[in-house]
Structure 1
Amino acid sequence: MTHPEQTALVEAAGALVRWDVLGEPGPVTEVHEQQRAAAWLWELTEDPAVLAAVHRLARLNWAQSWWPASTVAGVPPLHPALLAAEHAVATAAVSHLLDDEQATERALSALLPLPLAALSGHAEALVLAEELAELAEDFGVTPPTPTAALTREGFALAAGADTRPDGVVMQQGSALVDWSMVPAGAVDAAAEATWFILRRNGKTLLEVTARPAPGGVPPRLAAQFGPIDLPLEPTPAGALTGSIPLPANALLLPADQRVLTVYAPGFAEPAPPDPAAADRRAALIAHARTRLDDPAATLTERTARLLWSGA
Structure 2
Amino acid sequence: MRFAEDSGLWTTGPGPDAVQLSAVLEVSGAVLSWSVDGPESDVHIAFTDPVRADWLWRVVGESAHSAIVSALGGVPDGQVEVEGVAVRPAALDSLRRLALGHWMRRWWPASVRDGIPELGAAVLDGELALLTAAAGDYFVDDTFDSDVAELLRPHAELLEGLARLGDPRVAELARACAELAADIGVEAGPAAVAVQSRRDDYALVAGEVTRRGAAAIAAGVASVSWAAVPPGVFDAAENTVSWRVESADDVANAVVLVELSGRASAAGIAVRVRSGAVDGAGTLDASGAATVALVGEDQAPITESVAWGRDWRDTAVTIGADVGESPQVRQRVRTFARARLARPGPDAFLAELLAAESDY
TM-score class, shorter: 0.7 to 0.9
Q: Deviations along 1:30-68, whole A, 9 cap, x unmatched?
A: 22321112x102323568775222112101100111111
Normalised TM-score (structure 1): 0.82
Q: Give the structure 2 partner of residue 108 of structure 1.
A: 152
**Structure 1 contact 91–107 (Cα < 8 Å) conserved:** no
**Cα distance, 1:145 vs structure 2:** 11
Give the secondary-structure state (helix, strand or coil) at the position aligned to 2:210.
coil
Match of 2:48 among 32, 43, 46: 32
Greater Cα shift, 18-27 or 300-309:
300-309
> Greater relative contact order (Cα 8 A, min sep 6): structure 1 or 2?
1
Q: Give the structure 2 partner of residue 82 of structure 1.
A: 123
**Structure 1 contact 199–205 (Cα < 8 Å) conserved:** yes
**Structure 1 contact 8–18 (Cα < 8 Å) conserved:** yes
Percentage of matched positions with identical amino acids: 25
**Structure 1 contact 70–214 (Cα < 8 Å) conserved:** no
2:262 pairs with 1:247: no
Q: Give the Cα–Cα distance (whole angstroms) in 2 for the partners of residues 230 and 186 of structure 1.
A: 18
> What does 1:12-27 correspond to in 2, within 5 Å?
12-26=27-41, 27=43
**Structure 2 contact 271–319 (Cα < 8 Å) conserved:** yes
Give the secondary-structure state (helix, strand or coil) at the position aligned to 1:168.
coil
Normalised TM-score (structure 2): 0.71
Q: Give the structure 2 partner of residue 150 of structure 1.
A: 194
Q: Give the Cα–Cα distance (whole angstroms) in 2 for the partners of residues 91 and 225 of structure 1.
A: 42
**Structure 1 contact 76–214 (Cα < 8 Å) conserved:** no
The amino acid of 2:352's aligned partner reads E
Question: Unaligned regions of 5+ residues in structure 2, if any?
Answer: 1-14, 62-87, 295-300
> What does 1:1-311 correspond to in 2, within 5 Å?
2-26=17-41, 27-37=43-53, 39-45=54-60, 51-98=92-139, 99-100=141-142, 103-112=147-156, 113-114=158-159, 115-118=162-165, 120-121=166-167, 123-142=168-187, 150-152=194-196, 154-158=198-202, 162=206, 165-166=210-211, 167-192=214-239, 193-200=241-248, 202-226=250-274, 227-235=279-287, 239-244=288-293, 246-248=301-303, 249-250=306-307, 258-263=315-320, 268=321, 270-271=322-323, 273-274=324-325, 277-293=326-342, 294-296=344-346, 297-306=348-357, 309=360
**Structure 1 contact 195–209 (Cα < 8 Å) conserved:** yes
Q: Give the Cα–Cα distance (whole angstroms) in 2 for the partners of residues 162 and 94 of structure 1.
A: 48
Change (3 A) 1:240 1:199: closer
The amino acid of 1:100's aligned partner reads D
Q: CA RMSD in A?
A: 3.0
**Structure 2 contact 105–231 (Cα < 8 Å) conserved:** yes
**Cα distance, 1:71 vs structure 2:** 1.0
**Between Structure 1 and Structure 2, whose CA radius of gyration is higher?**
2
**Structure 1 contact 225–257 (Cα < 8 Å) conserved:** no
Q: Give the Cα–Cα distance (whole angstroms) in 2 for the partners of residues 21 and 48 of structure 1.
A: 15
**Cα distance, 1:229 vs structure 2:** 0.5
**Structure 2 contact 130–180 (Cα < 8 Å) conserved:** yes
Q: Deviations along 1:156-183, whole A, 9 cap, x unmatched?
A: 4347763763331121222211111110
Greater Cα shift, 133-142 or 63-72:
133-142
Q: Give the Cα–Cα distance (whole angstroms) in 2 for the partners of residues 80 and 95 of structure 1.
A: 22
